[in-house]
A and B are shown apart, each in its own frame.
Chain A
Amino acid sequence: MNHEHGHGHDQELTIVIETTQGNWEETFAKTDKVSEVIEATRQHFGFSQEGNYQLKLANGETMRPERTLVSYHLKDGDYLTFVDLGVAV
């Protein structure tokens, strides 16, 4: 995961993550897993570890946590939606 902003690098991807607490534009390595992006988003917004978090593509598809960003053929500027389904307690 690369937390330094930068555009245009072949191995990096700058995406916008939409949450109910606001949007976050960040640069990740293309090979980062979805689970790593979820965790980075959780930490950025200070959400607790005990949520039931998912990332969704613009078409509504839920991204699988074990897959890499590059496997979804994302491009710079794409939006992903961060959702908490809530943990049953």
Chain B
Amino acid sequence: MAVDKAVSLSIVKSELDECRGDADRYHWEISTLDEGTLSFKVKMISPIDKEIFIVSFKCDNYREWPPYIDFVDPISGQEGIKNAYPLSSDGFFHPNVLICHPCSRKAYGDFKGPHGDWRNLAVWETHPKTGALKNIRAILLAIYERISQPEIYRGRMK
């Protein structure tokens, strides 16, 4: 069942407010929320090699559906290309240019993701592999930690 846009907007605004402390602490730049598309971007810099990563979120039908998360190339502005993505020691940042996790709508088979076995977007919050990544702040922290820890971070995907 579709979530009323005003409801999604209210939730996204609230969750973005919860990110302000981390944004100050980690020097994230959070764009203005586009209330028409429920989308926004977050720029973050790897403290390891100073690479810039721009994460884009589209939160239509949130929280019924997980956000549609992608990365934007900081030079070309192209979205969803390998050069826009970080690389980690595991497959969280998937070579098919997506975050391979239940919190990422792009990973689901219905959105051409690799997980054809994930048929129901609406259960993303209770999927056993979702862990604590149940809100925007938790997702952003997971991404930031992954570009901040030398044991995990492998630079830019190419």
Contact = CB atoms under 8 A, between A and B. Distances in A.
Interface of A: 19-21, 45, 47-54, 62, 82-89
B129 interface: yes
A49 B128 contact: yes
A84 B149 contact: no
Given A87-B101, A89-B102, A89-B115, A21 B145 contact: no
Nearest to A19: B132
Given A20-B138, A62-B149, A87 B132 contact: no
A83 B145 CA distance: 8
A83 B152 CA distance: 14
Given A48-B129, A83-B145, 19 more contacts: A20-B134, A20-B137, A21-B134, A47-B132, A50-B128, A51-B133, A83-B132, A83-B142, A84-B132, A84-B138, A84-B141, A85-B142, A86-B133, A87-B101, A87-B131, A88-B90, A89-B91, A89-B102, A89-B107
Contacts of A83: 132, 141-142, 145
B128 A48 contact: yes
B102 A51 contact: no
Indicate the size class of the contact surface on chain B: 20 to 34
Q: Is the interface of A mostly helix, strand, loop or mixed?
A: loop
Contact of A85 (B128, B130, B137, B152): B152
Q: Is the interface of B mostly helix, strand, loop or mixed?
A: loop
B63 interface: no
Contacts of B145: 54, 83, 85
A26 to B, nearest CB: 17
26 contacts: A20-B134, A45-B132, A48-B128, A50-B128, A52-B131, A62-B149, A83-B132, A83-B145, A84-B131, A84-B138, A85-B92, A85-B145, A85-B146, A85-B152, A86-B92, A86-B131, A87-B90, A87-B92, A88-B91, A88-B94, A88-B100, A88-B101, A89-B91, A89-B107, A89-B115, A89-B129
